[in-house]
Structure 1
């Protein structure tokens, strides 16, 4: 299923919160878009929907920023692959381990190469400022719980 919605920055938190509220163990959310498109903003709203108090730091330098109960109600790893140069570097991150009881939010998923997750929710952000567009490729595992209509 494809979903497309224009939005502005005031609506970004609500969109991220709706998607974050629907996260389940084993989910992978891929966030793509240009630098400054709003990937981290959506990820932060998803984390806030799961109980994170305060603002989540961008994982650009840490690459993987894990969150676990009681900080959030579902273990989530926020991943930023911007600094990854080769898909082989991903092995050291152990991303699959987070999926046993939690979820992954991955910025810059194009750095995954062909080693991605077939059933991931893919969110692409285009545009800038108050003229952004969210395009979601919603996999079958998400269709019944997709929160945006």
Structure 2
């Protein structure tokens, strides 16, 4: 799925939000500046969250409880050398909200059983363009992907 700009990416993410249910996990994979946090901003807007969304790079996890579903935004970039298994992330993954994880490669043993993995790829020639591809792991993620009709 291709996007010409950040506005279009956020609009798509807002359209994803109504399909989300408690315990859904979205793993966002892509280079720095690929649009992961921008996507999360649109998702939050679609969930009815009006708080300012910023990357939790230094705090690791930001909680936004004031939407249709709570949003748990995680950035594991600083855990390149491990440690995700010590954070108790399963409480978020199995909780009452939606978990969005940037840099999921660093989850290690904390990787949940089911998730929707979204790959973000920047265009080589136009810094505003993005391509997203999707991988569903587990029955709930497969149902979510089918509902989004993007496969």
Bin for the TM-score computed over the shorter chain = 0.7 to 0.9
Matches within 5 A, 1:2-81: 5-9=1-5, 10-68=7-65, 71-81=66-76
Report which stretch shifted further, 55-64 or 129-138. Answer: 129-138
Q: Check whether the contact 1:18–1:148 (CA below 8 A) recurs between aligned residues.
A: no
Structure 2: distance between partners of 1:130 and 1:103:
27
Q: Which TM-score applies when normalising by structure 2?
A: 0.84
- Number of residue equivalences: 142
> Hey, what does 1:136 align to over in structure 2?
134
Q: Does the 8 Å contact 2:85/2:109 carry over to 1?
A: no
For residue 75 of structure 1, report the CA deviation from its aligned partner. 1.7
SS at match of 1:83: helix
Deviations 1:16-68 (A, max 9, x none): 11222211111110001010000000011111111111421211111000111
* CA deviations over 1:79-138 (Å, ceiling 9, x no partner): 000101333x12332211122211210000011125412320000000242331000113
In structure 2, the CA distance between the partners of 1:54 and 1:75, relative to structure 1 (3 Å rule), is: closer
SS at match of 1:73: coil
Whether contact under 8 Å (1:66, 1:77) holds in the other structure is yes
- Structure 2 stretches of 5 or more lacking a match? none
Matched, 1:93 2:87: yes
Q: CA deviation at 1:148?
A: 3.9
Q: Structure 1 unaligned runs (5+)?
A: none
**TM-score, length of structure 1 as denominator length:** 0.85
RCO comparison, higher one (Cα < 8 Å, 6+): 1
Runs of 4+ that moved beyond 6 A: none
